[in-house]
A and B are shown apart, each in its own frame.
Chain A
Amino acid sequence: MDATTAIPARRAPGRSLHRFANPGRFLRLAARVQPFLTWPALLLTAAGLLGGLFLSPADYQQGDAVRIMYVHVPAAWLASSGYAALAAASFVSIVWRHPLADLAAAEIGPVGAAVTALCLATGSLWGRPMWGAWWVWDARLTSVLVLFFLYIGHTMLVRAFDDPERGYRAGAILALIGAVDLPIIKYSVNWWNTLHQPASITLTGAPTISGSLLWPLGLSTLGITLGFWAIVVARLRAAVMERRIRGLLSARAAAA
């Protein structure tokens, strides 16, 4: 049998992803997707936060402090899921050398750092009236602080090299190693005796919080998640354009 005929016909996943490596195609697709992220994000976030402030009841134990949940929980969810996306983009970058995966990882980093900072700050504002302390070296809080440093480290590392490719490679390795923090964050409240409460909403069981508190939380989580991705997609569009500008300027300089 000829060696070339032995190649399986099935396309590798990386091959189909490379259709979007064309900057023009990606920019057209991203511009079409953008309004479907931005406008629902604004509406759902406004509905969730206003509902949480004015329509949902105060908690019988925590009082009004429970309303911090409508900002804190979406920020915490996005801190972890954003890093999972960053690690996935880094994996695609290392395995398939997809040019957009490098840019996606680089653009998720600063937005992820911002939501993780928001999670830590709102957690601190919630902790002060509930625990009597702005900060405790609890396993959940400490592992989220480590996540914040991972985001900051990744953001700085990818921009630390004159050759962007080396920066992307180093950042991808850091992101994949740092992904070990995600299960630690998730299970820290089960593995250790923490001040931070265990999860109230799980995939396997019914939520342990009242429906009157749950609906604004669902709306704000969905809205802020869409907003996170709207910002990441917009930053990615800008990054693709900037890369194309650098390429055109380099080609002109070489031709001159």
Chain B
Amino acid sequence: MTHLPYVIGSYMLFARLALGLVVSTSLRLRLAARRLRAIDPRAQDLP
């Protein structure tokens, strides 16, 4: 009996979780940087 469905399920879970974390973190970081620049123009040097 093959165990590949369990293996593929594990890798897909990892991919789904990693993608979710990367996308949500990236959006949050961009939004925070944009809001900070809008409020405080001196924050232009901030990344």
Contacts and interface: CB of A to CB of B under 8 A. Distances in A.
Contact of A248 (B4, B11, B32, B40): B40
A71 B32 contact: no
Contacts of B21: 111, 114, 231
A241 B10 contact: no
A68 B3 CA distance: 10
Interface in B1-34: 1-4, 6-7, 9-11, 13-14, 17-18, 21-22, 25-26, 28-29, 31-33
B45 to A, nearest CB: 8
Interface stretch (A7-15, A124-132, A204-212): A124-132
B3 A121 contact: no
A37 interface: no
A63 interface: yes
A140 interface: no
Nearest to A123: B10
A75 B14 CA distance: 9
A245 B13 contact: no
Nearest to A241: B32
A49 B1 CA distance: 23
Contacts of A235: 25, 28-29
Contact of A27 (B17, B35, B47): B47
B31 to A, nearest CB: 8
Contacts of A231: 21-22, 25
Given A241-B46, A245-B35, A245-B36, A118 B14 contact: yes
B7 A67 contact: yes
A24 B46 contact: yes
A244 to B, nearest CB: 6
A53 B12 CA distance: 13
A126 B10 contact: yes
A64 B3 contact: yes
A209 B40 CA distance: 55
B24 to A, nearest CB: 9
A186 B36 CA distance: 43
A238 interface: yes
Nearest to A118: B17
B9 A125 contact: yes
Contact of B39 (A30, A49, A53, A249): A249
A68 B25 contact: no
Nearest to B4: A64
A146 B28 CA distance: 29
Given A65-B3, A231-B25, A235-B25, A71 B47 contact: no
- In the A-B complex, the 3 residue pairs with the closest CB atoms: A31-B47, A65-B3, A241-B32
